[in-house]
Structure 1
Amino acid sequence: MQNTLSPKELARAIGVSESSLKRWVDEGTVNAIRTFGGHRRIPRNDALAFVRQQGYPLLRPDLLGLAEAEAGAEAGGAIDGVFHAALQEGRAAEAQRLVIQRFVAGDSVARLVDEVMAPAMRALGELWQYDQAGIYIEHRAVDICTQILDRLRALLPDPAPEAPVAVGGAHATDPYTLPSLMAATVIAAEGWRTLNLGAFVPPGVLTRAVVDQQARLAWLALGAVEGRRGVDNEVETTLTALAQAGEPPILVAGGPACHCSGHRPPEPARFAESMPELAGLVRGLPV
């Protein structure tokens, strides 16, 4: 599949005239490149970003390589319950289609993670208490969500060469991979370059990655930490390690234990109590 579209192809995809598309390209409304012959070519992911930002209905998703975004009954409404059922029953293609439909329609990655994927995973994570089958159901759901997040990442525009870098992972005794991957995807959607180190990341390893990547931001997923004291200890330990990085990055911690009303993290770290809050925090950082 080609990685670029002609103005004619994008015009057909959203039901506007080719002349309008060419004008928008020339005005800079649509990001495009020029071939050696002077022809306008629109990177596929930039075309999708334009469709999402402007709210155009995608009449021909196949032209953007989005067969799973064909219009369906769920595309215009709530999908949380339908997604939960698809995830629990292992219907991976349906689960991915539901999320990609909403992404194409304009929902942010942060909202999709926070309001659709995370609640479903929390509910599935309780099943093991009632039936051992809940363990494999949860693990299968993690795999499906990982595939969906990878697909979302593949649909994002490439970050600018000068884009800042964020590095992160779960703390040293945390076995959960999905929260950190969710955070990485949300940050990438804000135009940052990201390096997700996954689970079991000692503070020294995080610091080494920060130094090597010259990261401006570090995230810490705290999915297996209980209580304020546990959170504060993990954050303080990480801050101490990051202080060895020369110019330490901003540290953002998130996870269930961070949802403590009125509780402030050890300075200079910050808490992100939701994925939209993480996105907003990243969006507000100087780059």
Structure 2
Amino acid sequence: MTEYWNIMYSMQSFAMNRSVSPRELSKAIGISESSLKRWADQGLLSVTRTGGGHRRITLKDAISFIRHRSMTILDPAAIGLPAGLDAAAVNSDTADDFLQMLQDGCSEAAQQIILSLFMSGMPISEIGDSYIKYALQIIGDGEHTPQSILVEHRATQICVQVLQQIQTMIKPSDSSYSAVGCSLAPDPYMLPSMLVASVFQEHGAEASNIGPNTPLDVLRVASVDLPEADRPDVAWLSVSTLKDGRAQSNLINEFAADCSACGIKLVIGGRNIGHLALEHVPGMTMHASLQSVSELAASIAASK
């Protein structure tokens, strides 16, 4: 089971645009075809029709339907999902199980835990705060040896890969607002900004993650420097590494003022935000958790 050297393991990509039949979805979730067809007729399940009039459901719509109703997937393979998904197996020990899978390099098992949580309807903010953040903080603590660095880098790659899978499932077809952000240089961490992007996507945003170690001037180019019609509604910054707190605080304060003048909401997070000397700028909010970001994203989506 342990895939010690399988650092770059990646689960088979899901083709979100492929479609399944009501019969296949019925087999996957244990609900009668007649019920699915009735829900489709009521507009509760998005369907398309073939030239011959047969109902088809995109995998993306099927997953959304399952998640939003907290349905149990009895036969994931029936709709092309990994056979190991098991939302019923999620319990209070799952976070520690996930940590152990990451430490042991069991990439498939670790990714299946996260996908099972996601398919059960758990918000990405909770997955990020209670599972990914929890595990990687423990893995990153302690003395840095070649072995511990291997474990941390491998665990990061496993998490990145499963988040990429999830992002294909939640990317909105019609976004109601836009967001762009990054991890502020010299912050090298990939996952915090990637998780923020995923949270905004889950709440209907077209979210663009520029990535780690990004100079603030790069985010400026993608936000306040754009023509008014092209500017995002939200910009975010993750600050997990500080080199010069005073200089970084000054940069962020200046950027926050420019965002406020442009009508862009600025979201600041990361484990080192408490060490920044940030001014009170209209439209700028500070967040200690993904749950807090999720609440903001939900309120923005509701206002659109």
Same fold (TM over 0.5): yes
1:101 and 2:116 aligned: yes
Letter aligned with residue 142 of structure 1: T
1:236 and 2:253 aligned: yes
| Distance change >3 Å, CA 264–CA 274, structure 1 → 2 | farther
Q: How does 1:1-287 map to 2 (within 5 A)?
A: 3-71=18-86, 74-127=89-142, 129=143, 131-156=145-170, 158-210=171-223, 211=226, 213-225=230-242, 232-240=249-257, 242=259, 247-258=262-273, 266-285=281-300, 286-287=303-304
1:231–1:257 contact (8 Å) kept in structure 2: no
| Distance change >3 Å, CA 77–CA 96, structure 1 → 2 | same
- TM-score, normalised to structure 1's length? 0.88
1:203–1:237 contact (8 Å) kept in structure 2: no
| Distance change >3 Å, CA 69–CA 85, structure 1 → 2 | same
Deviation, 1:150, is 0.6
2:175–2:204 contact (8 Å) kept in structure 1: no
Q: Which secondary structure state, in structure 1, belongs to the residue aligned with residue 179 of structure 2?
A: strand
1:155-214 per-residue CA deviation (whole Å, 9 max, x = no partner) reads 22x413343111000113222222111111111111211111001222221121122753
1:251 and 1:62 map into 2 onto residues whose CA distance is 42
Question: What RMSD in Å do the two structures reach over aligned CA positions?
Answer: 2.5
Q: Which secondary structure state, in structure 1, belongs to the residue aligned with residue 27 of structure 2?
A: helix
The percent identity for this pair of structures is 30
Q: Which runs of 5+ in 1 are unaligned?
A: none
1:208 and 1:36 map into 2 onto residues whose CA distance is 46
Runs of 4+ aligned residues of structure 1 deviating over 6 Å after TM superposition are none
1:108-165 per-residue CA deviation (whole Å, 9 max, x = no partner) reads 11101110000111111113x1634212211111111111111111222x41334311
Deviation, 1:20, is 1.0
Partner residue in 1 for 2:9:
none
Deviation, 1:45, is 1.5
1:68 and 1:254 map into 2 onto residues whose CA distance is 36
1:222–1:257 contact (8 Å) kept in structure 2: yes
2:132 and 2:175 map into 1 onto residues whose CA distance is 31
1:114 and 1:199 map into 2 onto residues whose CA distance is 19
Letter aligned with residue 165 of structure 2: R
Of structures 1 and 2, the one with the larger relative CO (CA 8 A, separation 6+) is: 2
1:80-102 per-residue CA deviation (whole Å, 9 max, x = no partner) reads 11111111121111110111111
- TM-score, normalised to structure 2's length? 0.83
1:203–1:241 contact (8 Å) kept in structure 2: no
Q: Which secondary structure state, in structure 1, belongs to the residue aligned with residue 211 of structure 2?
A: coil
